[in-house]
């Protein structure tokens, strides 16, 4: 769905919204984080986590979205602010998203 031309994540259970906020994952912008949900051992919904299999982030754990991409938070470096490295195909490729859900060069 859109609001003012921006994609917005669908309505989620409050517990999941809190997990997203605590992690600092973007909920707006042109690339909002849309979580893939699992259930824990008690049957409660949680955000799926995945491990990167390839590339420089190999072995790192992150949050999985509905497109099976893994979101890894990357701290500021080389003049870039804090951002998310969004891993595709297990880390074979990736792109960067700022903390507001917009692509970075």
List CB contacts of 16: < 8 A, sequence separation 6 or more.
35, 37, 45, 46, 47
Instruction: List the chain domain ranges.
Output: 2-98
Task: Assess whether pLDDT exceeds 60 at residue 21.
Answer: yes
Mean pLDDT of the chain, nearest integer: 91
- Residue 71's SS3 state is strand
pLDDT of residue 6: 45
Task: Assess whether pLDDT exceeds 90 at residue 1.
Answer: no
Query: What would the pLDDT profile of 43-92 be if each residue is shown by its tens digit?
Result: 999 999 999 999 999 999 999 999 999 999 999 998 889 999 999 999 99
Q: What is the mean pLDDT of residues 11-32?
A: 94
pLDDT of residue 10: 62
> In Å, what is the CA distance from 40 to each residue of 33, 36, 45, 94?
20, 13, 6, 28
The rounded radius of gyration (Å) of the Cα atoms in the chain is 14
pLDDT of residue 40: 93
70 exposure class (CB count in 10 Å sphere: 0-12, 13-18, 19+): buried
């Amino acid at each position: 769905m859109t609001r003012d031309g921006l994609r917005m994540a669908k309505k989620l259970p409050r517990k999941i919204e809190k997990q997203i906020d605590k992690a600092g994952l973007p909920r707006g912008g042109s690339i909002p984080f849309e979580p893939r949900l699992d259930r824990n051992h008690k049957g409660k919904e949680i955000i799926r986590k995945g491990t990167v299999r390839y590339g420089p982030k190999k072995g790192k754990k992150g949050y999985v979205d509905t497109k099976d991409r893994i979101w890894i938070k990357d701290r500021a470096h080389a003049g870039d602010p804090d951002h998310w490295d969004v891993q595709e195909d297990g880390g074979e490729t990736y792109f960067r998203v700022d903390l507001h859900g917009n692509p970075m060069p």
